[in-house]
Amino acid sequence: MVYIGVGIGGMVGSVLRYFVSLTAASLLSNGFPIGTLLVNLAGSLFLGWFTAAVISRNKMNPILSASIGTGLTGSFTTFSTFSMETLIMIESGRIGMGIVYVLLSAVGGLLLAAAGFKIGSEKQGQRGHCG
């Protein structure tokens, strides 16, 4: 059952990624892969939160957890597309843009994964509490 759940989650995540990429490309057409950057950053934030708030606390059926964490999020985000887009920028002489893309992706992804994990680790009673 886990394999079926991961497959279904993967199908949903890849369709979502395709939709975000098309939408982003229609908004920004300067050659910068904003769609891939957005899905990878959003996926990092979500997976950080999901790991801390759901997976590590055993709050969900393991099949559903794998379907969402591995299937959906794994196929929503994409390291291979990131790698190819970076290579294409470098090969076409847009080295500066490639460096910016790598830095935004790597540093932004790590920071957002950490932020998501921190948010997911907070106790329910502490949310919305000020000073």
Whether 29 shows a pLDDT value over 80: the answer reads: no
For tokens 């908004």, the residue is 27
Confidence grade of residue 31 (pLDDT, cut at 50, 70, 90): confident
For residue 105, give both structure tokens: 């992706």
The DSSP call for residue 92 is: T
Beta carbons within 8 Å of 104's beta carbon, 6+ residues apart: 37, 41
Q: What is the residue-wise DSSP string for 38-70?
A: HHHHHHHHHHHHHIIIIITTT-S-HHHHHIIII
Give CA–CA dist 76/90, Å, rounded.
Answer: 25
- 52-85 per-position pLDDT tens digit: 999 888 889 999 999 999 999 999 999 999 999 9
